[in-house]
Structure 1
Amino acid sequence: MGREDAPPLVKAANWLTHLELDWEAPIWSPLYRDLAATHRLVRYDSRGCGLSDWDAPEISLETFVSDLEAVVDAAGLERFPLLGISQGASVSIEYAARHPERVSHLILFGGYPAGWRHIATPAEVREREAVMVLTEAGWAGPTPHTGASSRAPSCPTRPRTNWTGSTSSSARPPRRATRCASFRPSPSWTSATVSVR
């Protein structure tokens, strides 16, 4: 998105995105519109999400990084700033560690080099696992639980609920969502973080 002659900015994919619906999302649209005003914004849906194949056989750090590699190669980008938000931060860290010559700037927001399971208390693990059960059970219901209230607290309740309901069912089926959410915080990428300069 953005002008073809503008400087590129690559955003690594993260959980629960949809290339088309995100332009109307109260969480993502303001950010994407601002970034696309000054950059050629290159983004994609992660495997099992949005417009990507929902039946991806493997969801792993390796496949997320190889997907990012394929996207930047297809876009013909040699060197670029890389933006990683949430799960995309870990993928961006690993990509930058593997390809330091291609990443001009590494921009990370709301992510982690080591998954929450590595530092969580037993109570925190129980709480997060309960949220995954609620997510799967209420994914396409009248009040879907996707954590949108914590991600868009200033958004009025009705638009936020309408957006999460339509985006949840369009971005990823419930079992895929919880499978990806289960993967998302588990691995540790601390060694890759140390090698990024």
Structure 2
Amino acid sequence: MPFAAVNGINLHYRVDGAQNADAPWLVLSNSLGADLSMWTAQVEAFSKHFRVLRYDTRGHGHSDAPKGPYTIEQLTGDVLGLLDALKIERVNFCGISMGGLTGIALAARHPQRLNRVVLSNTAARIGSPDVWVPRAKRSREEGMLAIADAVLPRWFSAKFIESEPLVFAQIRDVFVHTDNEGYASNCEAIDAADLRGELAGIKVPSLVITGTHDVSTTAEQGRALASGIPGARYVELDAFHISNIERAGEFTPTVLDFLTGQP
């Protein structure tokens, strides 16, 4: 199990498509309460075109979960530190929800490290203290099981949950075993991040993907994100919050078309 020492923590990562030594890199960044396994449906297709680097965001999966709160600067710094540790100069980046917020900050502040960026089911300002403060408090004090049944039904349609019980069970298993402190500290990072004023300065070619039925980061917020980034493309899927899983058959080719096509 590979780890990189990054910014005082051990960051767990995984590489697929390494046999393509000349292929460009693609970094995949997970949502809050998930880990790198959330990209399983995309890895085979993506690794035919890219060397795919997945990682567990700090506080998630097998990465360290130091006491927080965390900041968006730490989340972007972890990505840059991982790239430096692996001697990777430039990458494409695809993030969902919290991972998409990380992608916005990278594109705004570190464009020299990016080729293209995919921002899925995210926004430049996600939620409010009314959401994040009590959720962080409850996850710390009561644990992840206490919030699972409130959070996870917002990720997928009821139809998907009913038709894909094994997929949903795996997602739930990862969620309830996420470190309490890591989850809460990332809630605080999201709550403190407001990147709306930085969108106009983004020059990295960008694709924004939203879900029509997403109540966590709405399609309206996604359209605002896309309109705020000069030249950004916008795609809306018939999905809830975790569109790369619920609509994998549409999400995967949409991302590949953007990353491999003409600017």
Question: Unmatched 5+ residue regions in structure 1?
Answer: 119-124
3-state SS of 2:55 partner: coil
CA–CA distance in 2 between the matches of 1:33 and 1:152? 23
TM-superposition CA deviations, 1:81-123 (whole Å, max 9, x none): 11121112222122222222221112111111123229xxxxx
State the identity %. 19
Give RMSD over aligned pairs. Answer: 3.0
Find the counterpart in structure 1 of residue 26 from structure 2. 9
- The question of whether the paired residues in 2 share the 8 Å contact of 1:135 and 1:178 is answered with yes
- The question of whether the paired residues in 2 share the 8 Å contact of 1:85 and 1:109 is answered with yes
Question: Which of 145, 149, 155 is 2:153 aligned to?
Answer: 149
Find the counterpart in structure 1 of residue 237 from structure 2. none
- The question of whether the paired residues in 1 share the 8 Å contact of 2:101 and 2:124 is answered with yes
3-state SS of 1:101 partner: helix
- The question of whether the paired residues in 2 share the 8 Å contact of 1:146 and 1:168 is answered with no
How much does 1:161 deviate?
Answer: 5.4
Aligned AA for 2:85? A
CA–CA distance in 2 between the matches of 1:131 and 1:158? 26
CA–CA distance in 2 between the matches of 1:79 and 1:8? 7
CA–CA distance in 1 between the matches of 2:66 and 2:186? 12
CA–CA distance in 2 between the matches of 1:155 and 1:30? 16
Question: Unmatched 5+ residue regions in structure 2?
Answer: 1-14, 204-263
CA–CA distance in 2 between the matches of 1:183 and 1:101? 24
Residues 1:18 and 2:35 are matched in the alignment: yes
CA–CA distance in 2 between the matches of 1:179 and 1:100? 26
Find the counterpart in structure 1 of residue 103 from structure 2. 92
Superposed, 1:37-52 pairs within 5 Å as 37-52=48-63
Task: Assess, with a 3 A threshold, how the Cα gap between structure 1 residues 99 and 39 changes in structure 2: closer, same or farther.
Answer: same
Task: Assess, with a 3 A threshold, how the Cα gap between structure 1 residues 2 and 188 changes in structure 2: closer, same or farther.
Answer: same
Normalising by structure 1, what TM-score? Answer: 0.75
Which gives a bigger RCO, structure 1 or 2 (Cα 8 Å, sep 6+)?
A: 1
- The question of whether the paired residues in 1 share the 8 Å contact of 2:144 and 2:176 is answered with yes
- The question of whether the paired residues in 1 share the 8 Å contact of 2:31 and 2:99 is answered with yes
- The question of whether the paired residues in 1 share the 8 Å contact of 2:67 and 2:182 is answered with no
Question: Which of 137, 144, 148 is 1:139 aligned to?
Answer: 144
3-state SS of 1:155 partner: helix
Task: Assess, with a 3 A threshold, how the Cα gap between structure 1 residues 133 and 146 changes in structure 2: closer, same or farther.
Answer: farther
**More strand by percentage:** 2
3-state SS of 1:69 partner: helix
Question: Which of 77, 80, 87 is 1:76 aligned to?
Answer: 87
TM-superposition CA deviations, 1:45-97 (whole Å, max 9, x none): 11111111122455111111110111112232222211121112222122222
CA–CA distance in 2 between the matches of 1:176 and 1:78? 28
Residues 1:167 and 2:174 are matched in the alignment: yes
How many residue pairs are counted as aligned between the two chains?
Answer: 182
Task: Assess, with a 3 A threshold, how the Cα gap between structure 1 residues 35 and 148 changes in structure 2: closer, same or farther.
Answer: farther
Find the counterpart in structure 1 of residue 187 from structure 2. 181
Find the counterpart in structure 2 of residue 65 from structure 1. 76
CA–CA distance in 1 between the matches of 2:165 and 2:136? 22
- The question of whether the paired residues in 1 share the 8 Å contact of 2:92 and 2:114 is answered with yes
